[in-house]
Amino acid sequence: MKIVFATHNPNKLKEVAAMLPHFDLVSLTDINCHEEIPETATTLEGNAIIKADYVTKTYGLPCFADDTGLLVDALNGEPGVYSARYAGEHGNAEKNMNLLLANLAEQKNRQAHFKTVICLNINGEQHLFDGICKGKITAQKNGNKGFGYDPIFQPEGYKKTFAEMSLEEKGAISHRALAIQKLISFLQKI
């Protein structure tokens, strides 16, 4: 089954494609959608819906879109829905991590969790799936794999960050993997 994953991020596409080997997963670039779809909602769910609806309405294709946020307890859930643009510029992982580490410098509570929400538009219906991975923010960056906040997020029960894990290790426990598993279970029933 051909399905659009509403992303321009090649790292995210690679990570998700590894979890969906039985589907013909295509990106926004593959369908010649080169515009950035504005993420103007104040919730992760809202942003996922905006992106999926845009692709379905504009291209008439089944589509799923996700939005992910890192929610830090000591910062009242920041950066949350603004995770990708926490330091201002969209997608500047280094600046985002540096700002987060600076904001946590005096905090003892470093508990955090990643949350992914997926919106699937298929067969004229809309479905939402989510996944949460609990952990903590490390004091410094560790590892060079993954993307985003991976070098400073250590999942609960592990001694290494997401950026120190293989794609397979991260894919077994991550927030995105948990949401994708719910998506896969649903897709296998249709």
For 109-127, how does the pLDDT look when each residue is reduced to its tens digit (9 = 90+)? Answer: 999 999 999 999 999 999 9
- Residues near 54 by beta carbon (within 8 Å), at least 6 away in sequence: 6, 37
The confidence score (pLDDT) of residue 146 equals: 87
- Rounded mean pLDDT of 25-45? 93
- Rounded mean pLDDT of 34-49? 94
Annotation marks residue 30 as catalytic: no
| Chain centroid offset of residue 47 CA | 11
Take residue 4 and report the two structure tokens written for it.
Answer: 């659009």
Cα(4)–Cα(29) distance, integer angstroms: 10
Fold of the domain spanning 2-187: Maf protein (3.90.950)
Q: In this model, does residue 91 exceed pLDDT 80? A: no
Task: Name the residue with higher pLDDT: 103 or 18.
Answer: 103
Take residue 179 and report the two structure tokens written for it.
Answer: 């949401």
Q: Show the beta-strand stretches assigned E in the chain.
A: 2-5, 24-26, 63-72, 79-80, 111-122, 125-137, 153-155
Domain ranges of the chain: 2-187
The confidence score (pLDDT) of residue 145 equals: 93
Cα(155)–Cα(137) distance, integer angstroms: 9
Burial 37-70, CB ≥16 within 10 A → b, else e:
bebeeeebbbbbbbbbbbbbeeeebbbbbbbbbb
Picking from 119, 128, 116, the residue whose alpha carbon sits closest to that of residue 64 is 119
Q: Which of 30, 53, 66, 67 is catalytic?
A: 67
Half-sphere exposure of 182 (CA within 13 A, CB side): 18
Give the angle 186-16-12 at the CA atoms, nearest 5°.
Answer: 135
